[in-house]
A and B are shown apart, each in its own frame.
Chain A
Amino acid sequence: MAAYRGGDAGAFEVLYARHRTRLFRFVLRSVKARALAEELYQEVWMRVIEARASYAPKARFTTWLYTIAHNRLVDHWRKRGLTLVALEADDVASASPDPADHAQARESLARFAAALEALPALQREAFLLHEEGELSVAEIASATGANEETAKSRLRYAMAKLKAAVDDG
């Protein structure tokens, strides 16, 4: 990013190639609709480009990138009148996944996908940041504006629910 800030457009291409797939999956699995995911994904990168001149490396670029993505998702949900509510104590079943997913219950992969989709938004985000962004708990806390204990708790709940789905398969 420092090279791109210095005017090296080729450096941006390297960065983009490194993060495009993971970031896109993070956004897509956060909003579930591909068209909306593409729109938000593009906006995240545009914010990266706009911040080129003022970029100061206070943290890993990955953390900074996923912080932008998180903020963009929060903005999106606020516009839709939705708020992210922590539902750490909720049962996975209470999320009532699509009945079509139940029809494919024998396929473990589908079950896993359903479990991921069924996760409360903040838990899913913590898991996706951990899995796609390879962020540590401290970095997840930084990216989402939460304290480390909260971030750790969200991630632990998400992992437990997904592990249950895997074990069932």
Chain B
Amino acid sequence: MADERDPKISQRYRNLSGEEPSRELDQAILAAAHRSVDRSHAPLVVPAGRHRWYYSLGAAAVLVLAIAVTIHVERQQPDAELAEAPPPAPQQDKPVSAPTAPAAQPSRDMAARKERRQVYTPEPPPAPAAPAPTQSAQPSAGAMADSAAARRDAEASAREEQAKRNVEALKKERAAASRAAPAPMASPYAAVTPERELERIADLRRQGRDEEADKALAEFRRRYPDYVISDEMKAKVERKAAK
């Protein structure tokens, strides 16, 4: 609307006294403007009004997530690698498997990982078929302790082997029994395990019923020809004079 503007009128108007707001008024208005900006940050700290539900919902969601993760971690089984990895004791490993390579030490990280594996594995099975440790005993300060530990390890391996053989024998026996006597006329030994039978023989032996014990032992050996009786059990089931 520039065509409405008259320069003479504008000039005369400008020549009127130039009133201005007072300085106090200016300061009051500017202070109010600053206060408004400062107040606007408050809701970030203290949510108010209709936005409160949003923060409550967020907090509840975080809580539920945390509980779910905790339950999941507790139920989580160790993975296959960790469960099946043979965790031999580190002090047994070193002298047996790498006696002449002290430079090839596993890193600290690996050692820490092994520690964790041992923690996660509830019942570490013995090392399978560990070589006999006696031939490479080290002339170090812990050699005696190491060889004793290695011997214990070998014994544990042997027991494991024996247990495996016993299980195999039992499986064969049960398979043969099932083939020979289909269902109704099952052998009285069908429900009896070799271990229980040996316990029964040991009981007979303790009660002094040696004749019955001898017969039962002979019958046991006939039924389980592949079963290897441990030394401890042999002492219980065999006649003392036979020793």
Q: Which residue of A lies closest to B32 (CB)?
A: A49
Main secondary structure of the interface of B (DSSP, over half): helix
Expressed in whole angstroms, the Cα–Cα distance for A45 and B19 within the complex equals 17
Interface size range on B against A: 20 to 34
What is the distance, in angstroms, from B44's C-beta to the closest C-beta of chain A? 11
Given A4-B33, A7-B40, CB of A24 within 8 Å of CB of B19: yes
Whether the Cβ atoms of B21 and A46 lie closer than 8 Å is no
CB neighbours of B18 from chain A (8 A)? 21, 25
Expressed in whole angstroms, the Cα–Cα distance for A16 and B31 within the complex equals 12
- B241 on interface, CB distance cutoff 8 Å: no
Given A16-B26, A16-B30, A28-B19, CB of A163 within 8 Å of CB of B40: no
Whether the Cβ atoms of B22 and A38 lie closer than 8 Å is yes
Expressed in whole angstroms, the Cα–Cα distance for A159 and B37 within the complex equals 42
Q: Which residue of A lies closest to B12 (CB)?
A: A112
A selection of 30 A-B contacts at a CB cut-off of 8 Å is: A16-B26, A20-B20, A20-B26, A24-B21, A25-B19, A42-B25, A42-B28, A42-B29, A45-B29, A49-B32, A49-B33, A50-B36, A52-B37, A52-B40, A109-B16, A112-B15, A112-B16, A113-B16, A116-B16, A130-B5, A136-B1, A137-B4, A152-B1, A152-B4, A159-B4, A162-B6, A162-B9, A162-B13, A163-B9, A166-B12
Interface string of B34-61 (1 = CB under 8 A from A): 1011001100000000000000000000
Within 8 A of B (CB), among A130-169: 130-131, 136-138, 152, 155-156, 159, 162-163, 166, 169
What is the distance, in angstroms, from B177's C-beta to the closest C-beta of chain A? 88
Within 8 A of A (CB), among B98-147: none
What is the distance, in angstroms, from A24's C-beta to the closest C-beta of chain B? 5
Expressed in whole angstroms, the Cα–Cα distance for A25 and B9 within the complex equals 16
Task: Please pick, from A20, A50, A53, A156, the residue contacting B4 in the complex, using a CB distance under 8 A.
Answer: A156
Task: Please pick, from B1, B6, B21, the residue contacting A38 in the complex, using a CB distance under 8 A.
Answer: B21
Expressed in whole angstroms, the Cα–Cα distance for A162 and B7 within the complex equals 12
Count how many pairs of residues, one from A and one from B, have CB atoms less than 8 Å apart in the complex.
92
Whether the Cβ atoms of B21 and A20 lie closer than 8 Å is yes
User: A residues bordering B, Cβ < 8 Å?
Assistant: 4, 7-9, 12-13, 16, 20-21, 24-25, 28, 34, 38, 41-42, 45-46, 49-50, 52-53, 108-109, 112-113, 116, 130-131, 136-138, 152, 155-156, 159, 162-163, 166, 169
Main secondary structure of the interface of A (DSSP, over half): helix
Whether the Cβ atoms of A108 and B33 lie closer than 8 Å is no
What is the distance, in angstroms, from A7's C-beta to the closest C-beta of chain B? 5
Whether the Cβ atoms of B6 and A46 lie closer than 8 Å is no
- B243 on interface, CB distance cutoff 8 Å: no
